[in-house]
């Protein structure tokens, strides 16, 4: 029998954790001891091709995501890549709307993270094989539940219009890269001295946009914001991030107290599910010139749709692993463009920078055609574990040149950090 | 050493599934082949007491919830019941806001279902040992993120006011029971003939309120609604349930076509996450006298808060296993009371009727003091597997008399239905 298609014959998933909590990297008001981790997926075709995917987690519970990926694998193994991408919308819905498994989501939590890991691997495999035109991309999006905000025709129209000037933007990106901001200087667990040192280094490296974690203690926040504003001067950009620490009223009061340090945005002021709460906060802070940013824990396109409809955010923070892979991120990028809200992706963690750079470059080149008020988060951690780590030059993401979705990790890193049997974890036990 | 407290020394969880898909019980527009299942939890104290808890699922994926319960068990085992209930709010937050595991929720999806299963067992254990006054109950609620809608003081005030007439309502419930409606007659997969037969039987048994599944095919829906309205006559109550099948505009058009059959509500017209969508549907259907009901897949108090704030539903359908146990259901009952929206619980599945009868009796006796537009769902499936199954008399839930939260299953049922090793599943393989 002739094999005309690439059939996926195997899916493996591993629980890979980095003991970042030992040094308070990534600490914030709600996640005080994160061990940056991934559920790491490899799919293999009968022709020996591989696709790599992952979703990001912060330690305990990664085994639950692994369990969910294993449950989804039955829907993937045995399918050909051609079969999947010829009706990617249908395949997306197969994973997210399985008549039994959707009960434990739907399209949220562990099951959505697992979907992202699996689909990221499929996109990685697909990315290595061919180009995608606007119509093809639209066919990947599940418009269910969002047609009251964006129809398929409107989406296609956006992509077709953005063909103008595309090559120019590609050339610009290849030359300059996409603007980034850094979160590496001011994690909540860092001392003032370390913060100062990291800030000085970052300024020397050309960084102009800085994010500070806040929300645990107002006095501390005032001191830290004052310190960093002093370090970076009045013309560089400061953002603050509370990681969901506050109630609605509390958020307004607290951020008002920090207004004198001129933050561009307050990120995750309250529950990531509270659309109306974010709308109230946005309204209250608008006169102070402070926007609201959220999205890293916004679990699907339906939530983003409402955040946009309710003017509840001024910066859309997509996440490559929280949403259902490229498919769902495309829906959000297009909605954000329609609602004229800039997208500033969430990154950091493990692999999030590697993945999301593709999405934000796509946003600039093929959707928004604008850099106004736009930048992509960067955290300088754990890139050394990737086959094609991000390249940052003068505080800009330089476009990745290797084929695929940049998810592939070094096999040695995976083995050393596998939980609980890897060498790193054995030593810690 | 004296043992003054009941320490939880063991937690076990099992994957128990019933092959209900074989006969299309429970089938609807989105869940076409559910195998009703539970993640079944038993906790044991050093004094030999046991607490039983569960969360409901519909088959595949139950193993993921089991995995999540196992991950949470480390936070439970070793704690005493007294320690837990003396700061139940804190314990609730320990489970829902663990610095690492919250990433894969937060407070949603698999992790929230697992939280419900564990806490249901704790409530079962606690329920067997003592009474609870209003102040104690308030101390179980996590008010984080809902203080803009309901403060602790307001909540206490509601409970204190409802002390008036309490004994009278208790006596009334003991005598008459709580009004119920039936969903057993009209699952989507049933033939017209079966629907007619079941309807006739139900009318003979005293049922006056009936729910029909809709949403897959408009012609079918018209035929089925017409048939059931004819069977039950103009004065009995009809509700329709689309199980999230539609987009917003589609929901309005479709339900308008069914308006002549005078449904009291349309349940789950669209995505359970779409607060603003439900608000638009509510507004459009109000002139037709049709309300919107939702909640069985509404994953936390923050979502219910917004549904209430946005006037997006006219019937609150709490679920004993989707929300984080009694703790979070208390918050929702109190908010619903403040917003003057009746609570009509979701039930059915496995054990949901057994659990939720406690909550709705509590709502009547200690919160709302009203039966206006209120009723609790009933589905006549799988009760025989419980130690203390619900008792229905003349279409009313009769108050449970055994101590605890009615979660305990027959050990023989658990063993026979354990997945995949139980006898029932071995036969099917």
In the prediction, which pLDDT does A1 show? 37
Q: Are B114 and B396 in contact (CB under 8 A)?
A: no
Q: Do B31 and A99 touch (CB under 8 A)?
A: yes
For the purposes of burial, counting CB atoms within 10 Å of the CB of B216, is it exposed (0-12), middle (13-18) or buried (19 or more)? middle
pLDDT tens for B347-385 read 999 999 999 999 999 999 999 999 999 999 999 989 999
Farthest-apart Cα atoms in chain B, separation: 72
Q: Count how many Cα atoms sit within 13 Å of the Cα of residue A302 in the half-sphere of its side chain.
A: 20
Distance CA B220, CA A89 (A): 27
pLDDT > 60? residue B417: yes
Across the interface, which of A34, A249, A300 has its CB nearest the CB of B273?
A: A300
Across the interface, which of A31, A63, A244 has its CB nearest the CB of B99?
A: A31
Question: Best of A27, A35, A74, A109 to disrupt the B interface by mutation (most B CBs within 10 Å)?
Answer: A109
pLDDT tens for A352-396 read 999 999 999 999 999 999 999 999 999 998 999 999 999 999 999
Q: How confident is the model at residue A116 (pLDDT cuts 50, 70, 90)?
A: very high
Q: Do A68 and B64 touch (CB under 8 A)?
A: yes
Residues of B noted as catalytic: 213, 346
Q: How confident is the model at residue A26 (pLDDT cuts 50, 70, 90)?
A: confident
pLDDT tens for A70-106 read 999 999 999 999 999 999 999 999 999 999 999 999 9
Q: How confident is the model at residue B173 (pLDDT cuts 50, 70, 90)?
A: very high
Pairing of strands A178-186, A209-213: parallel
For B20, name the nearest residue in chain A, comparing CA atoms only.
A100
Q: B18: Cβ–Cβ under 8 A, 6 or more apart, which residues?
A: B35, B36, B37, B350, B382, B385, B417, B424
A-B CB pairs within 8 A amount to 197
Q: Do A61 and B103 touch (CB under 8 A)?
A: yes
Question: Best of B22, B61, B98 to disrupt the A interface by mutation (most A CBs within 10 Å)?
Answer: B61
Residue that the structure tokens 């320990």 belong to: B94
In the prediction, which pLDDT does B187 show? 82
Q: Count CB atoms within 10 A of the CB of residue B47.
A: 11
Q: How confident is the model at residue B389 (pLDDT cuts 50, 70, 90)?
A: very high
Q: Do A63 and B71 touch (CB under 8 A)?
A: yes
pLDDT > 80? residue B3: no
Percent of chain B at pLDDT above 90? 90
User: What would the mean pLDDT of A26-42 be, rounded to a whole number?
Assistant: 89
CA distance B24 to chain A (A): 12
Question: Among B244, B247, B218, B268, which residue's Cα sits nearest to residue A143?
Answer: B247
CA distance A401 to chain B (A): 31
Q: How confident is the model at residue A296 (pLDDT cuts 50, 70, 90)?
A: very high
Q: Are B119 and B319 in contact (CB under 8 A)?
A: no
Residues in chain B with CB shorter than 8 Å from the CB of A57 are 100, 103-104
Q: How confident is the model at residue A23 (pLDDT cuts 50, 70, 90)?
A: confident
Rg (CA), chain A: 21
For A112, name the nearest residue in chain B, comparing CA atoms only.
B109
Distance CA B423, CA B417 (A): 7
Q: Are A29 and A215 in contact (CB under 8 A)?
A: yes
Residues of A noted as catalytic: 213, 346
User: What would the mean pLDDT of B317-332 be, rounded to a whole number?
Assistant: 96
Q: Do A273 and B303 touch (CB under 8 A)?
A: yes
Residues in chain A with CB shorter than 8 Å from the CB of B308 are none
Residues in chain B with CB shorter than 8 Å from the CB of A277 are 145, 148, 302, 306
Q: Do B248 and A306 touch (CB under 8 A)?
A: no
User: What would the mean pLDDT of B309-313 be, rounded to a whole number?
Assistant: 98
pLDDT > 70? residue B131: no
In the prediction, which pLDDT does B53 show? 96
Q: Count how many Cα atoms sit within 13 Å of the Cα of residue A372 in the half-sphere of its side chain.
A: 8
Q: B285: Cβ–Cβ under 8 A, 6 or more apart, which residues?
A: B252, B255, B256, B266, B291, B292
In the prediction, which pLDDT does A4 show? 54
Q: Count how many Cα atoms sit within 13 Å of the Cα of residue A115 in the half-sphere of its side chain.
A: 30
pLDDT > 60? residue B113: yes
Angle, CA of A196, A197 and A203, to the nearest 5°:
85
For B69, name the nearest residue in chain A, comparing CA atoms only.
A64
pLDDT > 60? residue A2: no
**Ordered structural domains, chain B, with CATH:** 8-145+414-428 (3.30.390.10), 156-411 (3.20.20.120)
Distance CA B187, CA A78 (A): 33
CA dihedral sign of residues B378, B379, B383, B386: negative
In the prediction, which pLDDT does B2 show? 41
In the prediction, which pLDDT does B80 show? 95
Mean pLDDT over each residue of chain A, to the nearest integer: 95
Q: Do A275 and B276 touch (CB under 8 A)?
A: yes
Question: Best of B271, B310, B352 to disrupt the A interface by mutation (most A CBs within 10 Å)?
Answer: B271
Q: Residue B43: helix, strand or coil by DSSP?
A: strand
Q: Are A58 and A37 in contact (CB under 8 A)?
A: yes
Q: Are B243 and B29 in contact (CB under 8 A)?
A: yes
Question: Among B53, B356, B322, which residue's Cα sits nearest to residue A109?
Answer: B322
CA distance B401 to chain A (A): 31
Q: Count CB atoms within 10 A of the CB of residue B372.
A: 6
Angle, CA of B100, A297 and B303, to the nearest 5°:
105
pLDDT tens for A5-19 read 789 999 999 999 999
Farthest-apart Cα atoms in chain A, separation: 72
CA distance A106 to chain B (A): 7
Mean pLDDT over each residue of chain B, to the nearest integer: 95
pLDDT > 90? residue B125: yes
């Amino acid at each position: 029998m002739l094999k005309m298609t690439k059939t996926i014959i195997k899916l493996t998933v591993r629980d890979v954790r980095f003991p970042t909590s030992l040094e308070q990297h990534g600490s914030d008001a709600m996640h005080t001891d994160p061990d940056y981790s991934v559920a790491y997926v490899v799919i293999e075709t009968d022709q020996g091709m591989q696709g790599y995917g992952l979703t990001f987690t912060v330690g305990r519970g990664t085994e639950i995501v692994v369990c969910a990926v294993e449950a989804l694998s039955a829907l993937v193994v045995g399918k050909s890549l051609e079969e999947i991408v010829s009706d990617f919308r249908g395949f997306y819905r197969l994973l997210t709307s399985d008549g039994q498994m959707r009960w434990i989501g739907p399209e949220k939590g562990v099951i959505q993270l697992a979907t992202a890991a699996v689909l990221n691997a499929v996109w990685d495999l697909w990315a290595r094989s061919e180009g995608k035109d606007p119509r093809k991309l639209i066919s990947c999006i599940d418009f269910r539940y969002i047609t009251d905000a964006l129809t398929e025709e409107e989406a296609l129209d956006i992509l077709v219009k953005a063909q103008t000037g595309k090559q120019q933007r590609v050339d610009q990106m290849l030359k300059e890269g996409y603007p980034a901001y850094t979160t590496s200087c001011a994690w909540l667990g860092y001392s003032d001295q370390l913060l100062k040192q990291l800030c000085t280094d970052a300024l020397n490296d050309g960084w102009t946009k800085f994010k500070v974690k806040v929300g645990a203690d107002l006095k501390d926040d005032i001191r830290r914001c004052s310190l960093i504003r002093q370090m970076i001067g009045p013309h560089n950009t400061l953002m603050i991030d509370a990681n969901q620490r506050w109630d609605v009223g509390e958020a307004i009061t607290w951020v008002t107290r920090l207004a004198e340090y001129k933050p561009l945005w307050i990120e995750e002021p309250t529950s990531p599910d509270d659309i109306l709460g974010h709308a109230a906060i946005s309204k209250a802070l608008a006169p102070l010139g402070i926007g609201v940013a959220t999205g890293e824990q916004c679990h699907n396109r339906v939530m983003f749709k409402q955040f946009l409809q309710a003017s509840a955010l001024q910066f859309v923070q997509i996440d490559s692993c929280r949403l259902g892979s490229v498919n769902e991120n495309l829906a959000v990028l297009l909605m954000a463009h329609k609602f004229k809200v800039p997208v500033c992706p969430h990154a950091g963690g493990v692999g999030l920078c590697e993945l999301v750079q593709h999405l934000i470059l796509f946003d600039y080149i093929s959707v928004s055609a604008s850099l106004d008020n736009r930048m992509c988060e960067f955290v300088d951690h754990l890139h050394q574990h990737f086959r094609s780590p991000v390249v940052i030059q003068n505080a800009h993401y330089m476009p990745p040149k290797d084929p695929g979705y940049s998810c592939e990790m070094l096999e040695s890193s995976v083995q050393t950090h596998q939980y609980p049997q890897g060498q790193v974890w054995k030593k810690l036990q």
